[in-house]
Structure 1
Amino acid sequence: MSVFVNRGRQLAALRQAFQDAGPGRCRIAVLSGPPGIGKTAMAERFAATAVNATVLRACGAEEDTGLAFGLTHQLIGSAEPDTLYEAIERSQDGPVVVVVDDAQWADHPSLQAICSLPRRVRTASLLIVMIVRDPGDPGLPGAVHRILGADGTLRIALTGLDEDAVRDLCAELTGHRPSRRAARRLRQHTEGNPRHLRALLAEVSPESVDELDVPLPVPRSVAAPVLAALDACTPAAQGLIGATAVLDERCPLHLAAAVAEVAEPLTALEEAIGSGLLAEEIGTGHIRFRSPLTREAVYQEHLGPVRRAALHERAAAAVPDRAARLWHRARSTVGPDADLATELGALGHRHATTGHWPEAARYLGAAAGLAPDAAARERLDLEASECLISVGEADQHALARRLHELAPSPWRDYVQALLELNAGRIHSAATLLTELQRASDSDGIPHARINGHLRFVRHLQHRTWSAASLADPDDLDGVRRRVIAHLQRAEQRWLSGDWDEALSEGNAGGALAAGGGQALLVPLCEAGQVPLLAARGEWDAAEARLRAARDRPAAETVPLVSAAVATAAAHLAAARGDDDQVLRVSPTLPSDLVVDALITLGRLDEAETVLDRLRANAVGRPLEMAAAARVRGGLHAARRETRQAVAAFENSLDVLDGLRAPFLTALTRLGFGAFLRRAGRRGAAAAHLEPAHVGFEALGARPYLARCARELAACGRPGGGRSAGESSVGLTAQESAVAGRAARGLTNRQIAREMVISVKTVEYHLGNIYPKLRVRSRTELAVRMAGG
């Protein structure tokens, strides 16, 4: 069964190298990475798709390293290196691909012969694929190091699969696609190594992967060599390795030696390094395991309960950190311990107060396991569950079943409210939270948290969509706070013109929301990217995001999410110029897009009614005020109220002046320019349309760029670009327009009249232009703008 996932980019690079290896040319590619990472699978997948190629394969073996020309014999059935060259040159069946697997164990004479091929090939098309664990391995011959380090060599270092690829692999192997949280845990446990993942999935049921409360085992195929390596070590080295496993994946050497009671730590360390289990971090005094699975194999399979508890007890006496001491004491204790449970609980509460949720969950969970009575255990367990929900690490289905079995209590209702909220059932969440807020006894649940969740719920129920106004992230906890921070940054970057960054922030927020079980925030992240993709004319991507957001249950049940989806759909329709669709998808939104559509369709009285609502909502919000002024200008223009239209458009530009909002500014200039062009003022229209064209072009806003170009063409400017002599290097679009006119000899008053702006605005822009272009006079400005 195929395990080839998440390697499309690397496979494409190999195929490109194959195409580059034309007649008389040889390309070399090296695939590197740890065992099981998928190097051989990638080479085989590539070889299977190499059209009309003759593929010669050979594989090094540790026991055959001293067998001279053994690899050459595998390739062509002959031990003669010249025969290898002749066989490649005589190939009449098309290009030749030589795949050398486990090159670190290949015999040196064969490697020398293969490495000589690039300079000997005359007519053949040849690609050599070297598969090696570490291209810097000093055991490889010098000839190999030279070609692997050559400028023309393609180097592909394979790393572990990402979370999405882990989910794909699980689905392919078991038919079950785990949750993102489960995939994240699998990836951390195995470092995304496909071989380890396959071995693990063969030993556990597909459904158990999603049970986050159950520790993942170590695959037998991984544990067996680790245990064999341990058996070959002396007791001192075994002790050092076991103590390191108890202390964690990485720890100071002196601390591990103290816990293991090893008298000669350097000798023991050298042996542990030789076993392949530990590594030394030179210069830091720390040692670490080669991989997380190695540490788990030692901890779970090698150390028995007695030895493990004894090492934890010694660690509790040796570690300097109080929290670590408590943790080790908990791991060495059997049965209830009221004092230790109290200390661990207090430590967990301190971490929760400061928002360090994973640590809080760890200590509260440990305290629950040591609490002497059922009521205390239940409350501590629920407190730990709250922390896990906050970071998106709770097994929500298992937790819901557990809550159903508990007697009613404030903590049970509070955790139930969080589960309801994350699942998108905001009405039941609001009911539970409101009751907790009104209750005289909340059993120690911080009222600030209850109130913060309630504020979030009220935004979801009553507010129209705006990431910046959704909620103050400081009022929220864990994953929700981080997702909203991503949403806010995405919105800010969308407005400021950093559109690639906006998409990146939106993607990060969506992945975090999905992985953290935030069912309400996922569609907000998806819908939030639609306006940007639509403005760029990326229709398929915009439709896919909109479809995904619209298909979420919250899109029908939560007003805020419904509004976000409607707004996204309106942006997509507006970018396409489909005014009827704008009104169909967002008939009740007080939006500038709706006003624009109504104006275009001639429904001016309705447009004014929506505009009144829009203006009322925009008070105190500059960008919304600018948008309202823009569409007010469009409404006056449609009514042939020239003076009022000019005043409204100028008002919009004045509000935007000084704000970094290039798309909104270009949109206003496009509307202003189109109005002036229809009024017969072509010069004044071009003064706005040209910088709008520059702005849309810089943003990649193709649909709007096309509209602007059509308006410019109607003004007699078919190029759709800047006037002759203008330069935008280092200048904003408006500065570029002012500079071009000043360079042509226009006075400030003439520039103001032509661009339909105030003289003071011209003076302001010139004050910025001169230092930017390093000129001191209009004469120097004219020379600079002419390219002198």
Structure 2
Amino acid sequence: MYLVGRKAERQALDDLLAAVREGTSSTLVVTGEAGIGKTALLDHVADQASGLLVTRVAGIDSEMEFAFAALHQLCAPMAERLDRIPKPQRDALRTTFGEREGPAPDPFLVGLAVLSLLSEAAAQRPVLVLVDDQQWLDLASAQVLTFVARRLVAESVGMVFATRVVGGLAGLPELTVSPLRDEESHALLATVLDGPLDPRVRDRILAEAHGNPLALVEFSRSLRSEELAGGFGAPGAPLSHSLEGTFRRQVEALPAATRRLLALAAADPAGDPSLLWSAAELLGLATEAAEPAIESGLAEIGTRVRFRHPLIRATAYRSVPLSDRRRIHGALAAVTDEAVDPDRRAWHLGHAAVGPDDTVADELERSAGRVQARGGITAAAAFLERASSLTLDRHRRCDLAIAAASAKAQAGMLDGAREMLAVAEAEPLSDRQRAQADLARAELAYVTRRGNDAAPLMLSAARRLEAIDGTLARDTYLAALSAAVFAGRLAADGDVLEVSEAASAATRALSDPRPADLLLDGLATQHSAGFDKGLPAVHEALRIYGHRMTAEQELRWMWLANVAAARVWDMDRLTSLAQRHVQLARETGALSQLPLALSSYISVLLFRGQMAEASAQIDELRSLVEAMGETMTPYGAISLAAMRGDKAKLLSLTDTTIRDATRRGEGVGLTVAAWANALLHNGFGDYWDAMNEGLYATAYRGDCTSSGWALVELVEAAARSGEADVAADALERLSEMTAPSATDWGLGVEARSRALLSDGATAEHLYRDAIERFTRAGMRPDLGRSHLLYGEWLRRQRRRVDARYHLRSAHEIFEALGMAAFADRARRELSATGEKARSRAPQAAVRELTAQEAQVARLARAGLSNPEIGARLFISARTVQYHLGKVFTKLGIRSRSQLDSALSDADG
């Protein structure tokens, strides 16, 4: 009846259904104020969805603390399809629902599981997902459903969200439901009123309702027939009608026993009538108490307990005194089966407690552990917060409040985290608690900005922990070091050098150091005492990293192990660690680890010259970050643009990176941008600009990797700019790392750099040494650059025939890798010897592929199945097949077996 008018809205929903029936996916966010008719529109689309599997969920404000409550409703009708989705996804979903034990699943893996499940269900018949009151979904379910909505393409799945606040759904197609026009309001009133309606009364109803359909209906219901026929309250009475006020008057008009029964029904979001009647019996409420509520249409009590509108639920709950609400929760706790639903029972016990109660606090803490193990970090925070308020023990109250703050920080509830830290810090804290509070604050800072705020707090915590828990102290020093690496040159306090000096004594005299201990010892010693002093510990840490370590232990410090391997110029170990990092993140479902893992792996691919694979991984990383709704400095894309000589692309990327990194306090982003610009300018032969960028990139001694790479660029740029002193100083700093590292990568860049500052036979020997080392190491970009520099040197020695061989080799390598600036530089040099270089262009058909199509094509060529490709790109297997169909058409091929030859020209 609320669909009087609404022609445009109904058409939009009908179009969505038509798209779904035709085999594509479609999403719509229906927004508007309470009572505007959003639920009625959902009812309309459900009525029109004949032949579709319709699954419907609704957010309930009192259920927001129960993790994945809405998601369980959504997936229940499709449970028989669960065995058809990939095992890691299936396990994640079952762990989330408490059907199996295991580590807390990554939320993005849960999202991918739901996407796969919907796709599988849609293979049988199209699926329509209706989500009402999205603003009241539990946070875990809301995040998953938003993730799914953003990844739908070709699954025959429709999703319609009804919400008052767009929030995290921003960017999805949106339909705003506006107030009814006057003529539509008149028509609606005519359908709900049988008796006479005084024109003055009608006009005042219309004026107060402001075109809100529910307000029109409820205001009319709240008036007696004589008021409708001849007046609207007492003359001169103030107008105080509102939906909330109308519902409150309707509830308050009920008998006291009925109000208590409605409050009982509102207190338990499960809507289970057996629980309702069992609790009612404990409270002495007879079944007859329900009759007035049912007769008034405020609620239905049948196979489920339902309220006519969510505002009625909230109004009913608040309509009884606090003492009654506590008794209601006590009764619900008493009738809730502890074995079947211990967490809901604990939640009711927490709300039933009149004062401090350590027994209830114990129950809530245990529930927090259970829900956190299923990935319900928001629910865990709520349980811990309530537990902290119920314990008499001040020391334990601090522990619980700090744990609640940490959970809230992880869930992104930043204000709540600060409030819980304030609760904890209002009490006298032990050294351990102060350290834990510092860690929670550091976590809060890192979640907020991932900038320069976290490292000082972690450093403070680590210092406190040294006398309490040595292992935790060392782990905290490692976390501080990792945060300091990100802060880089923008660290105000707690920079890499300060953390290293503080941590240098933490690993001494350990009889059986862990790989993590050796990693800390080595990196800290390198920064505090000298590169060569810490090298043995770093080498040993890298050698044994992964041995006798659980996957969780490996993942925790893997990124820092990658940093250490790059810092000591060990390409072989860096390659194996980066590959292992990506593999572990995927196999264990630790998708939040995957962005950093992919960044490390992309660096490996670029230095080895596997440009096509690097490009595919960069696209995958972009898809991943977008799917997660996060932001991340695009280190891989910056590096690729620099190597390709794509000046416009790099300028755009570095401008954004510098602005965002400065705002966040992420100094490493500034160093990477400067290194990339130095590399780009060297490619074009703009040596003065390259030198200035190199000087900036190498100015901060605490940068761990890219500043070392920038030294290589600085030597070349300064040598070619005639700044011999600058080049010599950069070479000395470079050799302090490369010589003791003694790897082909390190010694190769040192030999090539030293050759630039040498003459005669010495220079020639160094260039040949660099070429030999890079050939052996399989590092084609550096091999090409070594051929180029040697060829340039030979041409200046008037040895044109020898120069042509090396310049031709350089040009061929750069052309094959797509390193356009360096290729053009080699072409110019080759032309100066009297030989003309030939260039080639990629196939036009390959250039027509979209980024997503190219990703799918390359992964299919690598032998991955559709579900495996979908898992990589956060799309469904059906969407993968949809993209493959377009790829085949554009490339003029018919099968996967033809992909290799079709893509080879573009990949080099």
TM normalised by structure 1 equals: 0.50
| Larger RCO of the pair (alpha carbons < 8 Å, separation 6+) | 2
